[in-house]
Amino acid sequence: MIASISWLVPRLLPEAMHIPDGFLSLRIAGMAWLLSIAALAYAVTRTNRQLREKQVPLMGVMAAFIFAAQMLNFPVAGGTSGHLIGGALAAILLGPWASMLVMTAVVLVQALLFQDGGLVAMGANILNMAVIACLVGYYVYAGAQRVLGNKARANLASAFAAAWISVFVAALSCAVQLGLSGSSPMQVALPAMGAIHTLIGVGEGLITVGTLAFITATRRDLVESRPSAK
Partner 1 sequence: MRSKRWWIVGLIIALGLTVISPLASGWPDGLERVAEDQGFIELQAESFYEIIPDYVLPGVSSEALATVLAGIVGVLVVFGVALGAGYALRGQWTEGETQ
The DSSP code sequence of 89-103 is HHHHHHHHHHHHHHH
Residues 124, 141 contacting (CB under 8 angstroms)? no
28 contributes a contact to partner 1 by CB under 8 A: no
| Spatial CB neighbours of 25, under 8 Å, sequence gap ≥ 6 | 180, 181, 182
Alpha helix stretches (DSSP H) within 149-185: 152-181
Smaller CB separation from partner 1, 60 or 149? 60
Choose which of 31, 35, 44, 223 interacts with partner 1 (CB under 8 A): 44
Rule CB under 8 A: which of 80-139 touch partner 1? 80-83, 98, 101-102, 105-106, 108-110, 112-116, 118-119
Smaller CB separation from partner 1, 40 or 159? 40
41 contributes a contact to partner 1 by CB under 8 A: no
174 contributes a contact to partner 1 by CB under 8 A: yes
72 contributes a contact to partner 1 by CB under 8 A: yes
Smaller CB separation from partner 1, 80 or 150? 80
Cβ of residue 76: shortest distance to partner 1, in angstroms? 8
Choose which of 38, 41, 42, 52 interacts with partner 1 (CB under 8 A): 52
Q: How many CA atoms lie within 13 A of 229 on its CB side?
A: 15
- Dihedrals phi, psi of 76, to nearest 5 degrees: -120, -170
CA distance 80 to 73: 9
Smaller CB separation from partner 1, 12 or 38? 12
142 contributes a contact to partner 1 by CB under 8 A: no
60 contributes a contact to partner 1 by CB under 8 A: yes
Q: Long-range contacts: 71-80, Cβ < 8 Å, 24+? A: 73/15, 73/16, 74/203, 76/196, 76/199, 76/200, 76/203, 77/199, 80/196, 80/199
Cβ of residue 148: shortest distance to partner 1, in angstroms? 24
CA distance 45 to 70: 28
Count of C-beta atoms within a 10 Å radius of residue 53: 6
Cβ of residue 208: shortest distance to partner 1, in angstroms? 15
164 contributes a contact to partner 1 by CB under 8 A: no
183 contributes a contact to partner 1 by CB under 8 A: yes
Smaller CB separation from partner 1, 36 or 110? 110
Choose which of 130, 142, 162, 171 interacts with partner 1 (CB under 8 A): 171
Nearest to 155 by CA among 166, 144, 167, 140: 144
224 contributes a contact to partner 1 by CB under 8 A: no
